């Protein structure tokens, strides 16, 4: 079933190129290593969950996992695959900038460089101190005006983990 789903997803990639953010799979082994190196549990929110592989791995590791995906095809693909998983996972079809992060203990993102400042601002406004932010490929701008106040605590093979600091926006 997984192979058939992969073939279906691969055949749909040309149609997904018209999207603002391209679909690129995150290497799940890098997510696993990062999550296991900083074992916190609770709710993980994947902003732009694509095929759902990060959500699946986090659920397998004991997180309540929520994937946020705006692309209808990827959302439906994830929903169908979810039927064959174990663990607590769900998918929400939504714009990643509209989904609230107030209850997240961990936020995962595979953003693209132009969106990172806006994502940092969202994290500054919505995440509690102590929230972990996993960022694959691109670093999260931190410390500037309207940016997340966060400390880089892990940086290996393009995977970074930031911890949101206590002096983040206190209006939450």
- Which is more confidently placed, 114 or 8? 114
Predicted pLDDT at 17: 39
Residue 143 buriedness (CB in 10 A; 0-12 / 13-18 / 19+): exposed
The conformation of residue 103, written as its DSSP 8-state character, comes to T
CB atoms within 10 A of CB 142: 18
* Nearest alpha-carbon partner for 129 in 157, 101, 109, 156: 101
Distance of CA 74 to the CA centre of its chain: 14
CB atoms within 10 A of CB 16: 15
Q: Where are the beta strands (DSSP E) in the chain?
A: 43-47, 64-69, 89-93, 106-109, 132-136, 150-156, 159-164
What pLDDT, in 10s, does the model give residues 125-164? 999 999 999 999 899 999 888 899 999 999 988 999 999 9
What pLDDT, in 10s, does the model give residues 33-89? 888 887 678 999 999 999 999 999 999 999 999 999 999 999 999 999 999 888 889
Neighbouring residues of 170: CB distance < 8 A, sequence distance ≥ 6: none
For residue 161, give both structure tokens: 């983990």
* 11-20, 23-32, 150-159: the lowest-pLDDT one: 11-20
């Amino acid at each position: 079933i997984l192979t058939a789903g992969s073939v279906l997803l691969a055949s749909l990639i040309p149609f997904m190129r018209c999207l603002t953010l391209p679909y690129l799979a995150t290497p799940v082994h890098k997510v696993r290593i990062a999550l296991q190196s900083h074992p916190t549990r609770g709710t993980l929110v994947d902003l732009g969950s694509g095929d759902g592989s990060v959500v699946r791995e986090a659920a397998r590791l004991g997180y309540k996992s929520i994937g946020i995906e705006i692309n209808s095809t990827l959302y439906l693909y994830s929903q169908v695959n979810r039927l064959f998983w174990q663990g607590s996972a769900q998918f929400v079809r939504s714009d990643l900038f509209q989904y609230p992060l107030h209850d997240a203990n961990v936020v995962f993102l595979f953003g693209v460089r132009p969106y990172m400042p806006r994502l940092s601002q969202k994290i500054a406004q919505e995440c509690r101190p102590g929230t972990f932010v996993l960022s694959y490929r691109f670093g999260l701008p931190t410390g500037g005006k309207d940016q997340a106040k966060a400390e880089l605590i892990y940086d290996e093979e393009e995977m970074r983990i930031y911890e949101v600091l206590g002096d983040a926006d206190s209006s939450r």
